[in-house]
Structure 1
Amino acid sequence: MIVRFDELDWQPTPMGDLTLRRRFEPAVAALIYEVKLGDEYLMSSLFTVAEEALATLGLAEASGDRLAVLVGGLGLGYTAVAALRDDRVGALTVIDALPAVIGWHERELLPVSTELVGDARTTLVHDDFFAVVRRAPEGPRYDAILLDVDHSPRHQLDPSHADLYTVPGLRSLARHLHDGGVFALWSDDPPDDAFLADLAQVFDGASAHVVDFDNPVTGGVSSNTVYTGRLRATS
Structure 2
Amino acid sequence: MSRKALPKGGRTKQKRLSPDDRRKEFVAKATEFFSEEGFGGATRDLARRLGVTQPLLYRYFPSKDDLIKEVYRTVYLEPFDTAWDRLLADRSRPLRSRLKEFYSAYTKVIFTRKWLRIYFYSGLKGLDINRWYVGMVGDTILTRIVRECWHEAGRPARGKPTAAELEMAWVFHSGIFYYGVRKYIYESPVLEDKEQMISDAVDAFLAGFQQVFAAAATQRTPEKLPV
What is the TM-score of this pair, normalised by structure 1?
0.24
**Structure with the higher strand share, 1 or 2:** 1
Q: Which one has more relative contact order, counting CA pairs under 8 Å at least 6 apart?
A: 2
Q: Which has the higher helix share?
A: 2
Larger Rg: 2
Q: Give the alignment's TM-score, normalised by structure 2.
A: 0.24
